[in-house]
Chain A
Amino acid sequence: MSDRRPGQSRLNLGLLLACIGLWSFASSPDALGGRAPSAGQGEDPPAIRQQDAPFQLPFGLPPGPSSWLLIQPYGNTVFAYRQRTSMYASGQGLHFGLDLAARCGTPVEAIGDGTVVEVDSAAHGAGPHNLMINHPNGFASFYGHLLERPTLRPGQVVQAGQQVALSGDPDGTCTSRPHLHLEIRDAPSHRHAYNPIPLINADWNRIALAGGTPLSFEQTLEAPQTWQSLYDQPDVTFGGHLLNAYDSAWPPER
């Protein structure tokens, strides 16, 4: 069991936001998590409280079966837990981005104004092609599993909503698992990843209303309600220790 708690991990993001004067962290939707006192049904939904989120969606079309769908959220997903010591080991065992399924060739848009800093960096994975944009608010956005090498060059300035790439498939087939892997990191170091959900202005609980089963996060049997929602997930420090090295967990590992 990790000694990091959601409150601690959120503090990092909160400090960053406070430093750049964007957001009063006290009103973050992340406060929904854990065993906070019941807020009641009359409280503003996340969509309203997210109105100051600094970024926009990476696709121009609304979600749907022909445009894009959220297929794996950020954080302590069951899928990531089962690969915590392999695919996701470098990200402390968590899925450190959002997976948004989309047909190959779907235009990907910059989630905010910024400057291209890396194209096809081998250091960040998420092949076959990827793109990193630094934003003036202290964040960076990373776009992975792109169909082709972006035509942008490091140093090039982009605007929010500008097409910057085409979505692809990590397996290169465009039928296996075509999707965009989207991360939000700190800039310029890119050493930390943050949950994009509270940082992108969208009603993610509505976006998650697709398909026949709930989103699924791994539960530690020490504290089964920990990190169990889209909004309540810890920050990641690349190269840090596993956050989900649980003694016992549910569902079973295989």
Chain B
Amino acid sequence: MTLAVLLATGLGSCDFSQTAPDDTLPSFSPQTPSVAPPVAAKPTSAATQAQGTTVPVRTATPPSAPHQLTTGGCCVRPFWGPDSASVYFLDRPPGDPLGIYRVDLEGSPPALVERGAAAFSQDMNWMAIQAGGAIAIVDRVSGDRWMVPSQGRMVRFSPDADWVTWQVQSSNVANLDRRRWSLWLGAPNSRDITSPLGGFGGGFIGWGPSESALLFTGRREIDGPVGLWRSSIDGDHVEMLIQAEGIRGSLVSPGGGWVALTVAFSGDQSLDGLWLVSTTGGQAFKLPQFGAYRWRREGQLLVIPLENGRTPIRLVQVDARDGRIAELTLADGAIPAISDNTWDVSPDGRWLVYQSGTDGNLWLLRLPGGTESP
């Protein structure tokens, strides 16, 4: 079984192809460059094309069938609570108020947890709500609230909720390559705000490890190179992580150490596909699979390959740290259809919630290959 992994750095590309017996997992050991790459990692057509096949991952428990969490075609945009024990969504059931509702993993009747619509920090101790034409931050523990000077623009919490960010961009420029944006950030309970960086096209995508860096895509200068970038929080130190046209779908890992992204329609088919890029330097490789993707844990990505509808939905797990690629064993027809690419993995990596493409309800699947706990 061959797994060729592309590692594109300024030092050149390395081929980690190796042969493994069929009953073992393929793996590779990315070599750490002895010196920092002199230029940004850039995918090149000369780089090795990944051609990995996958093997079933060994599971401590047999594959389980999904079970239904909601009824009546409910609901869209589910998200996980921080304890991985509840799934939340916005709803207004007949006769009940609008709000954020919660169901537990056994599919309990939805329970109202907050009236109105809101976006939450990962620990759910903070939420952002609409207040007139503005956005307010609410401390859900104390009840204190602050108005954010974002002029009504929605904010995002940093992973540890130490910061809120929002983006301002020119609205009168159709050409996305020339649309200017600026990032604003401040502490959630402060009016002290700053705009450390901006660019053209793309935009802010998330935080590096320990909230020590800002990650963004696009161009720094209107006619400059385009790619994925890392910046210090004050914006003084900016470096390109990968240079590529056609970046989309950037998704930062839970710990900020990796970005999964799609390169599409670049003109070089060897570059088009799903990439994993380290945010701490040097490593960027293209996966043999392309499709829908979510982070399961830090450095561990789940991919649903984009395949013909006549084939069952598959789940492939990629470990960015050691290169293992494994197909997770699912019960036959475990996931008949997913609606609108709506699926998400619990923070502990053990559960997958998805909206069924057949009935619109939320269903829960226990993921194989995870750390089993009582």
Q: Which residues of A contact B (CB under 8 A)?
A: 32-41, 43-47, 62-66, 69, 101-103, 170-171, 173, 175-178, 202-203, 205-217, 219, 221-225, 228-230, 248, 250-254
Contact = CB atoms under 8 A, between A and B. Distances in A.
Given A65-B272, A225-B73, 12 more contacts: A35-B72, A38-B72, A38-B361, A45-B357, A69-B264, A173-B175, A209-B313, A215-B342, A217-B76, A224-B90, A229-B340, A252-B154
A88 to B, nearest CB: 14
A213 B174 contact: no
B174 A171 contact: yes
Nearest to B166: A254
Interface of B: 66, 68, 71-77, 90-92, 94, 98, 116-117, 119, 130, 135, 151-154, 174-178, 245-246, 248-251, 260-265, 267, 269, 272-274, 290-294, 304, 306-310, 313, 336-343, 356-361, 363
B177 A66 contact: no
A64 B249 CA distance: 14
Nearest to A69: B264
Nearest to A252: B154
Contact of A211 (B72, B292, B337, B339): B292
Contacts of B94: 35
User: Taking each of A202, A207, A208, A215, which has the highest tally of chain B beta carbons within 10 Å of its own beta carbon?
Assistant: A208
Given A41-B356, A212-B249, A205 B153 contact: no
Nearest to B293: A212
Contacts of B338: 205, 209
A32 B359 CA distance: 6
Given A214-B77, A230-B340, A62 B308 contact: yes
13 contacts: A32-B358, A36-B72, A37-B72, A47-B337, A66-B265, A176-B175, A176-B176, A202-B309, A206-B306, A209-B338, A211-B249, A213-B341, A214-B343
Contacts of A213: 249, 251, 341
B74 A225 contact: yes
A203 B307 CA distance: 10
Contact of B90 (A38, A44, A176, A219): A219
Contacts of A216: 77
